[in-house]
Amino acid sequence: MAILNLPAVVMAGRGTFPYDTGLVYAGLAMKVVSLVVEGLEQAQKAGLFDWLHEEDADVVCLQDTRCSEYTLKGDVYFPENYSPYFLDDFENPKRNGVAIYCKKLPKAIMTGLGFADFDSRGLYIQADYPNISVGSLLIPSGQAGDEAMNTKLKFLEQLGQHLQKVKNKRRDFIICGGWELIGQSIDAEEAGNRTDIPGFSSIEQAWLQELYQNGYCDAFRSINVSSEEFTWWPEGDDAGALRSDTHITSLSLEGRVDSAVINTDDAFSSHAPVIIEYDVDL
């Protein structure tokens, strides 16, 4: 895990406080967009950055970028009104990778989670502001057999420990991305036929429920309680859609979600953007 202190920004102290942060916000909306792009360069060709310009989000979290920052050619990847930060897969930049685009300069950027077996894979990057941290997360899918599933479960175990540890900090967290977990039956078409595949296993379900019982919430579901909306579709098949992408936040933000939308009008990958506005002032 690495933390980059940014120029002209002072790093605040981080002590241990009770979970109820008691933070007071100014009532201004903060828009956060999250999208699994399945390759940043191909998403750019599909019009991603034109759409982001129109969307005018405060923070943009991208996952599965499949590229190295240093091979990106063209100003389109580096919009003037954003500060972009990337974490590539060190061993193979053509897989994994996360990025975060910040309109307001954060006070620090954290790359990785301090997981020795995973930080080199480009799975997490976080922007820290005075009262809130926004993270871009890509969880291993576990789709490629038993070994891949065991890798996913190992990552989830360490992630759960990390989230339990940081929940008592005097700050709120918004963690966006490809969670590769299905929380409820309404989050999947034909959910009853999938109980033995990654994302639906009893171990993963128990992990997610424990997370929700220990200080976190699904921001999309906080105001879209019963709607059947999805963020991913199988290639060439309308059936089998999932809502596997979301923002999971500190429970203290549950009542600060002003709107939560899945944009199915624009296609940049097989995943749809998740757009959530929070009653939070950066």
Give the CB-side neighbour count of residue 253, counting CA atoms within 13 A.
Answer: 33
Q: What is the pLDDT of residue 14?
A: 25
pLDDT tens profile 92-147? 888 899 999 999 999 999 999 999 889 999 999 999 999 999 999 999 877 666 78
List the strands of the sheet with 2-5, edge to edge.
2-5, 108-111, 124-128, 132-138, 172-178, 245-250, 216-218
* Tokens standing for residue 144: 């490629």
Within-domain flag for 234: yes
C-alpha of 218 from chain center: 11
| Residue 135 to residue 128: CA distance in whole angstroms | 9
pTM for the predicted model, two decimal places: 0.88
Q: Kindly report the CATH number assigned to the domain that includes residue 126.
A: 3.60.10.10
Residues of the chain under the 50 pLDDT cut: 7-22
Domain of 59, in residue numbers: 26-279
Which pLDDT does position 103 carry in this prediction? 98
Residue among 206, 268, 257, 219 nearest 41 (CA): 268
User: Could you tell me if residue 8 is inside a domain?
Assistant: no
Task: State the SS3 of 56-108.
Answer: CCCEEEEECCCCCHHHCCCHHHCCCCCEEEEECCCCCCCCCCEEEEECCCCCE
Report the domain count for the chain: 1
Q: Would 150 be classed as within a structural domain?
A: yes
